[in-house]
Amino acid sequence: MLVEGSVVCGYRIQRMLGSGGMGAVYLADDPALPRAVALKVLSAELCRDPDFRARFIREADTAASLEHPQIVSVYTRGQTDDGQLWIAMQFVDGTDADAALRAGAMTPIGPCTSSPKSAKHSTSPTPTTSSTATSNPPTSCSPGPGQRRTGLPR
């Protein structure tokens, strides 16, 4: 686990956004531009597995090739001096859907699917490939461009 203020390949860690079996995602400062990024770091254990390393790199490369307003942009990927893989991507400040569901602040299906057409279109440009990002259900929701947030806690 990385701590606030630590630096990974130039990215200064602000805080952890979430973690799971694959690794962790951190809010970090971009070293080259005045913006925050989501820095996804594959766990050290999985970095020792050549198949997982290849899968993680494929995920980054595939995601970087996609351009859609409802898919986060991948800026770059790399590895630390000790071989830990990471992906720097667009940070979207949204609501943590998992926490909102547990708190009873929203229903399991309503707010995040208020625009089924929007959800359908965000997946239509994605190729059929294995992804470490899709191994778990989504944990955040944010409105699309020009849409306002409805039914989500503020």
Positions at the binding site for ATP? 40
Neighbours of 28 (CB within 10 A): 26
The encoded tokens of residue 86 equal 């990471």
**Residue 102 backbone dihedrals phi, psi, to 5 degrees:** -65, -35
CA distances from 108 to 10, 70, 103, 104, 116 (A): 38, 20, 11, 9, 14
Inter-residue contact 141 to 111 (CB < 8 Å)? yes
The encoded tokens of residue 8 equal 């990974």
Positions at the binding site: 40
- In angstroms, the CA 136 to CA 120 distance is 18
Element (H, E) at 42: strand 36-42
